[in-house]
Structure 1
Amino acid sequence: MSESTIVINPPIAKKIAKSLEKHNDIRIDNYFWMNDREDQNVIDHLNAENTYTKSVLKHTETFQKDLFEEMKGRIKEDDSSVPYKLNGYWYVTKFEKGKDYPIYTRKKETLEAPEEIIFDCNEMAKDHAYFKLGGVSISPDNTMASFALDTVSRRQYTLQIKSLKTGEVFPDKIENTTGSSTWANDNKTLFYTKKDEVTLRSDKIYKHKLYTEASKDILIFNETDDTFNSFVYKTKSKKYIVIGSSSTLTSEYRILKADTPDGEFKVFQERERELEYSIAHYKDSFYIITNKDDATNFKLQKTSEINTAKENWNDVLPHRKEVLLEDIEIFKDYLVVSERENGLNKIRIISWNGEEDYHLAFDNETYTAGLGNNPDFNSNELRYGYNSLTTPSSVIDYNFKTKAKTVKKEQEVLGGEFNKNNYESKRIWATARDGVKVPMSIVYKKGIELNGKNPVLQYSYGSYGSTIDPYFSTIRLSLLDRGFIYVISHIRGGEYLGREWYENGKLLTKMNTFTDFIDCSNFLIEENYTSPQHLYAMGGSAGGLLMGTIINLNPELYNGVIAAVPFVDVVTTMLDDTIPLTTGEYDEWGNPNDKKYYDYMKSYSPYDNVTPKNYPNILVTTGLHDSQVQYFEPAKWVAKLRELKTDTNKLLFYVDMEAGHGGASGRFESLKEVALEYAFLLDLEGINC
């Protein structure tokens, strides 16, 4: 028998019953033992899963390599970012051919000046299986850079400082930080955030003085409420250091003049349950985006630097029921507002002198537009980004004075075969079971006949108010060119149609997220876009929870499902406050220590609702070092599915033994996992080239 025909049996996990009791309800978890990453039996089981996955997909290995090269071949290897100017220097991040990691550079005053390399991540990453540089922050006098490294992929960064004069990296290492830091205006004081060692919650703000030992750093703020996370930054005006503290529903900020880093921080507005706000500084005032006074879609208010409590806030842009206020960008002469109306991004420009107030025009039916990198307070130009499902992303500079738009860069699609006119995108609306209209953004190659036989990949997320906008992807072309239709379902739980869209897809209305996706699937079938034999679903993290729930509810609708780093053991995880992120999630999912939330979570938790039935073909992926969704959630879920499912469909589990929640760190390494996923889908369709 040749090696290619050797069949490896799927790994069957041993069962060790563990009784979990809450509210007089007992759940038996036979795979709880997988929680111990130090147990060699766990590692052996994960390796066995990888071996099995590789054996089942062995016949696609050449195809996977071809897909990888095809996707890589569309990406410009020797690429660079659009330069931006900050404090007298032009900054550019570039990639060189044959190298996986970025190189951070700058030039003084003009783009013709000699290039100075700040960080070459290719050199820094040489001895690491995983490498991520984060939080580069340049001192006000341009002589130093703070930076942070993660070489494990648990998002626990080690903070260091580099002299940009000598190239020396100072010996002090500050462990277990979020990666971000900000300089005071004295060029010697650095503020940063540390994480709890166990839960990884960002809870402490420290002050570090240059040339002093990190062990002598001063604790400035300690967030004791375990449902909150803290962070620190400097306002764009450079006048204030700001400490923020936030939970899902509540915000609080503290401010200190950046010229006096040893002073005392002042509370901007004390936290109040369900009062959300964020602040930006301009001249002698603060501008506040807030939901105060039942402003569900948020409004913009203003207050003086002196009297910052909420009773002093006055409307600049009142609340509008149909328009979600997402963000603002402040310039010397203009206020720029990022809005969303009927699901579509809008950019509004308002002059401070009151003479101008208008929106930039976008002419696509479904698109993504957003504010870009605009660090220069005095600039006369707004940088923003634009793309759609058929249009590569562009970086555009808009001149406030002349109204001229200059495309600084349009994403190149290499390979010579891409023509955006060969593809069609549109927005369609399904009717949910409660009568609500749910939008979908859809793209496919022109000429497709709607005969119910087209393969469709339906993607969604649907949590935390996070919106998956219709974006361009060179990688996705490998599916479109092989006849796939790609659909993004803008289901409740996201914020595509405003804040209420989110509110109606969390806590005790979370089931809307799952049924919206299913109702979108039914619509695609009813309208002959596809059929259950050709419909595929995909989601990651909380979108992986979505995948787990829909296949428990309606497995017959899908031929295949990909669940990436899936959050599937909802009840157990939310009852364990030592797991990273858990306590901060109570406002999203509910606190299961309260029986009503426990019962509701248990009603949809994928792991708790696996039953003997036929399931679709399933591919599950995770990373051993994932700090957001621990590897053992999908590992236990796969084991339980394998035990109980009554079909002969594929159930494959791929574990990246080096990576975490974001996958592989190299620029192109992540494409290998995409190639695996696409090969899984295309193989189910009988497409192998």
Structure 2
Amino acid sequence: MTPDAQTAPPIAPTAPRRPVVRTHHGDVVEDGYEWLRAKDDAEVRAHLEAENAYTDARLAHLEPLRETIFQEIKGRVRETDLTVPVRQGGWWYYGRSLEGRQYGLQCRAPLASEDDWTPPKLDVDVEVPGEQVLLDGNVEAEGHEYFALGAFSVTTDGSRMLWGVDTQGDERYTVRVKDIATGELLPDVLEGLGGGARFTPDGRFILYSTVDDAWRPDGVWLHRVGEPTREHDVEIAHEDDDAFWIGAGFTRSRQYLVIESASNTTSEIQVLPVADLPRLAEDPAAVPRTTIWSRSERIEYSVDHAVVDGADWLYVLHNRGALDFELVRVPADAPDAEPEVVIPHSPGTRLESVDCLRDFAIVEYRSGGIPRVGILDYGTHAVREIAFDEPLYNAGSGGNPEWAQPVVRLSYGSFTTPGTVFDYVVETGELRELKHVEVLGGYDPADYGQERLWAPAADGTLIPVSVVWKRSFGDPGAAPRPLHLYGYGSYEHSIDPGFSYARLSELDRGVVFAVAHVRGGGEMGRAWYEDGKLANKRNSFTDFVDVARFLVDGGYTSPDRMVAEGGSAGGLLMGAVANLAPELFAGILADVPFVDALTTILDPSLPLTVIEWEEWGDPLHDPEVYAYMKSYTPYENVREGVRYPRILAMTSLNDTRVLYVEPAKWVARLREVDADALLRCEMTAGHGGVSGRYNAWRERAFQLAWMFDVLGIADEASDRLA
């Protein structure tokens, strides 16, 4: 019997080939799908909608499983909750989440006393004395399919607040200002800003950045509070070099304005006293600035301010002759003086940040592939590391806005330990646990194991691999198991151990989760990054393949039971490994994937392209870079005559970082070689995907259900958990 329309298998959309010819360095390329770049064209929109419909039809059978996973995630989260309060000025600031609401609330309550540095323990069922709800994201989001909060700042005296809102997903924000006491909206409406607007210390101005047509932050501005628009705002700094971006902020002491111009490999910083801001707003050219070090190729540095024994010092973290960075200091009134070394360079210990408070500095660094936090004594230059018990963990400072605070707020977690907030009392060394994320439903960390493996790459380099599993299924490696392998490997970004509510839905079904810390990331220091960028970029891809083979050879999994995942630049990794070793994976999940990298990096008019040349190389002007990038770009290297793993590509129409057209073209090309490739395009979202926590949980449930189907455990996953 011929199947009727309701039972016939869905037919994949076919994008017509309309070759566009490009020629670079004598190489002629016909691109059949470049026409999909016309975002506002009705045919392009119709094609994306058809792709969504096809994906929905192909995966309709997974809807019950998706709902099950969504309810599992939702059931683990205490939906009505509060964050740990952070002290700023005369207030404790904290966030609320409410059951059934997509977005959080920004709140505050007054201090009990000026000497109180112990945050109050708030209870969702107990009214907080003096509580003020400053901003309700749910109210702001009304009438919008997408909502993101990009800036939130309160004046030092606590009298006014500003916030920035993006309702398109394109990361352009509209900033407004409110008098907190009266609730009155001030006339200020600042449109088209970047995400980091803030008040100046005196509250009279708003400091913000703007971006050019290529999405590069190119200007720093001062806006006088009370002015309705940006018409009379003053640009106080501008960056003309297309390879650099610019931004500004204040030292923790609030005594200096810091203006930084930076590329991916070079930085230049100017400072000027905050007391000069009123004059700066009147005539920027009349106010002198101090340049710490003039820009010099491949020299990066950052600056903060401290007062030690009554003297003003600028602490400079830099890589001049120090691959993994060192910390020096110079007198604030003589920055060109010979620097005094505070923390010397130590190969293999990557100094990442230094945050100067009144009595000490917070130092964040990593060694052995683990992020670490220490306290710097200004007098002795000794660093006291804050110790934690687990072999794999992620720790960092955060929520430390006050210059004179005697405690350091820390966040901590691991693959098995839910996020935990501590206060570290610097004087005594006491580590006080303030709160840990509660996982509902009887979660016990002891039921799960985590370990660090080392996989040999083809060139002999040992690649760290983090693995987490549920113990009731036996030790990993004892027998091949379904395995989810994640990777990124770009921009010196590290994928550190972290807890995930959603990941429990995998682990509880016997899936092993692993992270391949490939070169190009920052897990093992600056050299690890350098070995996975520019002309070394292929190391990121071959490392991931070598890790996958190591896990197969070690009995952890088998190719028909392994799914790989990566997003953004990690999506480039996914596309590359799909071409290099399609036989190793059953499926590949590519989230907002950078899979048409050569086309993008050849066009300096596209967002961020020129800035990106220091990460990938400049194929527009350098034929060797062109040839090298063409050798690995996923879209350019789809192979004939191989069986690709199942592929799910996720993207968003308004993504300004990785344009939707890249995965759309990639999927169309994969279909030409009969690959089972699906595309899902969110039509009202940006680079970070959908907005709202429930929407985000549903999106992850969608991805996990597809993954379980690929791994062959969808049926049993629908029925029960182990």
Superposition TM-score tier, normalisation by shorter sequence: over 0.9
Partner of 1:281: 305
Letter in 1 for 2:662: E
Partner of 2:124: none
Matches within 5 A, 1:396-435: 396-416=422-442, 418-435=443-460
Corresponding position: 1:622 with 2:646? no
In the alignment, the residues of structure 1 paired with residue 376 and residue 654 of structure 2 have an alpha-carbon distance, to the nearest angstrom, of 46
Letter in 2 for 1:384: L
Quote how far apart the aligned CAs of 1:406 are.
1.2
Partner of 2:123: none
SS in structure 2 of the partner of residue 204 of structure 1 = strand
Corresponding position: 1:603 with 2:627? no
Give the superposed CA RMSD. 1.5
Name which of structure 1's ranges 563-572 and 356-365 shifts more when overlaid on structure 2: 356-365
Quote how far apart the aligned CAs of 1:331 are.
2.6
Corresponding position: 1:207 with 2:222? yes
Contact 1:149-1:159 at 8 Å conserved across structures: yes
Change (3 A) 1:124 1:501: same
Name which of structure 1's ranges 123-132 and 376-385 shifts more when overlaid on structure 2: 376-385
1:350 to 354, 373, 376: 376
1:464 to 473, 487, 491: 491
Quote how far apart the aligned CAs of 1:305 are.
1.1
Partner of 2:688: 662
Partner of 1:190: 206
Instruction: Name stretches of at least 5 consecutive residues in structure 2 with no aligned partner.
Output: 113-119, 121-127, 281-286
In the alignment, the residues of structure 1 paired with residue 7 and residue 488 of structure 2 have an alpha-carbon distance, to the nearest angstrom, of 38
2:103 to 101, 104, 115: 101
Corresponding position: 1:170 with 2:186? yes
Name which of structure 1's ranges 108-117 and 270-279 shifts more when overlaid on structure 2: 108-117
Change (3 A) 1:355 1:480: same
In the alignment, the residues of structure 1 paired with residue 551 and residue 375 of structure 2 have an alpha-carbon distance, to the nearest angstrom, of 38
1:47 to 46, 49, 54: 49
Corresponding position: 1:337 with 2:368? no
SS in structure 1 of the partner of residue 669 of structure 2 = helix
In the alignment, the residues of structure 1 paired with residue 499 and residue 342 of structure 2 have an alpha-carbon distance, to the nearest angstrom, of 35
In the alignment, the residues of structure 1 paired with residue 54 and residue 593 of structure 2 have an alpha-carbon distance, to the nearest angstrom, of 20
Partner of 2:236: 220
Corresponding position: 1:359 with 2:385? yes
Partner of 1:155: 171
Contact 1:452-1:528 at 8 Å conserved across structures: yes
2:700 to 658, 661, 674: 674
Letter in 1 for 2:703: E
SS in structure 2 of the partner of residue 500 of structure 1 = helix
In the alignment, the residues of structure 2 paired with residue 464 and residue 219 of structure 1 have an alpha-carbon distance, to the nearest angstrom, of 30
Quote how far apart the aligned CAs of 1:313 are.
2.2
Aligned residues: 682
In the alignment, the residues of structure 1 paired with residue 78 and residue 274 of structure 2 have an alpha-carbon distance, to the nearest angstrom, of 41
Letter in 2 for 1:437: L
Corresponding position: 1:266 with 2:290? yes
Letter in 2 for 1:517: F
Change (3 A) 1:334 1:172: closer
Contact 1:184-1:241 at 8 Å conserved across structures: no
Quote how far apart the aligned CAs of 1:474 are.
1.3
Name which of structure 1's ranges 650-659 and 31-40 shifts more when overlaid on structure 2: 650-659
Corresponding position: 1:114 with 2:130? yes
Contact 2:651-2:681 at 8 Å conserved across structures: yes
SS in structure 2 of the partner of residue 127 of structure 1 = coil
Contact 1:182-1:232 at 8 Å conserved across structures: no
Corresponding position: 1:584 with 2:584? no
Corresponding position: 1:519 with 2:542? no
Contact 2:187-2:226 at 8 Å conserved across structures: no
Contact 1:223-1:229 at 8 Å conserved across structures: yes
Change (3 A) 1:353 1:267: closer
Contact 1:338-1:345 at 8 Å conserved across structures: yes
SS in structure 1 of the partner of residue 560 of structure 2 = coil
SS in structure 2 of the partner of residue 259 of structure 1 = helix
Contact 1:4-1:59 at 8 Å conserved across structures: no
Partner of 1:243: 259
SS in structure 2 of the partner of residue 54 of structure 1 = helix
Corresponding position: 1:542 with 2:558? no
1:130 to 146, 156, 162: 146
Name which of structure 1's ranges 571-580 and 535-544 shifts more when overlaid on structure 2: 571-580
In the alignment, the residues of structure 2 paired with residue 42 and residue 635 of structure 1 have an alpha-carbon distance, to the nearest angstrom, of 10
In the alignment, the residues of structure 2 paired with residue 355 and residue 143 of structure 1 have an alpha-carbon distance, to the nearest angstrom, of 38
Contact 1:4-1:58 at 8 Å conserved across structures: no
Letter in 2 for 1:332: R
In the alignment, the residues of structure 2 paired with residue 126 and residue 388 of structure 1 have an alpha-carbon distance, to the nearest angstrom, of 36
Letter in 1 for 2:399: N
Partner of 2:520: 493
Name which of structure 1's ranges 438-447 and 365-374 shifts more when overlaid on structure 2: 365-374
Partner of 1:502: 529
Change (3 A) 1:3 1:65: farther
Quote how far apart the aligned CAs of 1:146 are.
2.0
Quote how far apart the aligned CAs of 1:686 are.
3.3
Quote how far apart the aligned CAs of 1:355 are.
9.0
In the alignment, the residues of structure 2 paired with residue 195 and residue 349 of structure 1 have an alpha-carbon distance, to the nearest angstrom, of 36
Partner of 1:142: 158
In the alignment, the residues of structure 2 paired with residue 553 and residue 344 of structure 1 have an alpha-carbon distance, to the nearest angstrom, of 30
Name which of structure 1's ranges 82-91 and 311-320 shifts more when overlaid on structure 2: 311-320
Quote how far apart the aligned CAs of 1:233 are.
0.9
In the alignment, the residues of structure 2 paired with residue 116 and residue 122 of structure 1 have an alpha-carbon distance, to the nearest angstrom, of 16
In the alignment, the residues of structure 2 paired with residue 463 and residue 312 of structure 1 have an alpha-carbon distance, to the nearest angstrom, of 35
Contact 1:452-1:531 at 8 Å conserved across structures: no
Contact 2:253-2:358 at 8 Å conserved across structures: no
Quote how far apart the aligned CAs of 1:605 are.
0.3
Name which of structure 1's ranges 104-113 and 316-325 shifts more when overlaid on structure 2: 104-113
Corresponding position: 1:474 with 2:535? no
SS in structure 2 of the partner of residue 521 of structure 1 = helix
Name which of structure 1's ranges 263-272 and 521-530 shifts more when overlaid on structure 2: 263-272
In the alignment, the residues of structure 1 paired with residue 419 and residue 226 of structure 2 have an alpha-carbon distance, to the nearest angstrom, of 43
Letter in 2 for 1:637: W
Corresponding position: 1:442 with 2:467? yes
Letter in 2 for 1:453: P
Contact 2:253-2:357 at 8 Å conserved across structures: no
2:82 to 76, 80, 85: 80
Quote how far apart the aligned CAs of 1:349 are.
2.1
Partner of 2:283: none
In the alignment, the residues of structure 1 paired with residue 713 and residue 5 of structure 2 have an alpha-carbon distance, to the nearest angstrom, of 22
In the alignment, the residues of structure 1 paired with residue 534 and residue 271 of structure 2 have an alpha-carbon distance, to the nearest angstrom, of 33
Partner of 2:662: 633
Partner of 1:252: 268
Cα deviation per residue 1:581-631 (whole Å; 9 max; x = unaligned)? 111101100011211111111010000001212100111000000000000
Contact 2:252-2:357 at 8 Å conserved across structures: no
Contact 1:302-1:316 at 8 Å conserved across structures: yes
Letter in 2 for 1:436: T
Contact 1:99-1:122 at 8 Å conserved across structures: yes
Contact 1:182-1:234 at 8 Å conserved across structures: no
TM-score relative to the length of structure 1: 0.97
In the alignment, the residues of structure 2 paired with residue 291 and residue 239 of structure 1 have an alpha-carbon distance, to the nearest angstrom, of 25
Runs of 4+ in 1 over 6 A off after TM superposition: none
TM-score relative to the length of structure 2: 0.92
Quote how far apart the aligned CAs of 1:451 are.
4.9
Letter in 2 for 1:542: A
Partner of 2:117: none
In the alignment, the residues of structure 1 paired with residue 150 and residue 47 of structure 2 have an alpha-carbon distance, to the nearest angstrom, of 33
SS in structure 2 of the partner of residue 591 of structure 1 = coil
Letter in 1 for 2:601: M
Name which of structure 1's ranges 366-375 and 552-561 shifts more when overlaid on structure 2: 366-375
SS in structure 2 of the partner of residue 375 of structure 1 = coil
In the alignment, the residues of structure 2 paired with residue 415 and residue 473 of structure 1 have an alpha-carbon distance, to the nearest angstrom, of 15
Cα deviation per residue 1:453-476 (whole Å; 9 max; x = unaligned)? 311100010000000001111110
Contact 2:519-2:543 at 8 Å conserved across structures: yes
Corresponding position: 1:687 with 2:714? yes
Partner of 2:115: none
Contact 1:181-1:232 at 8 Å conserved across structures: no
Identity across the alignment (%): 38
In the alignment, the residues of structure 1 paired with residue 478 and residue 372 of structure 2 have an alpha-carbon distance, to the nearest angstrom, of 36
Letter in 1 for 2:301: Y
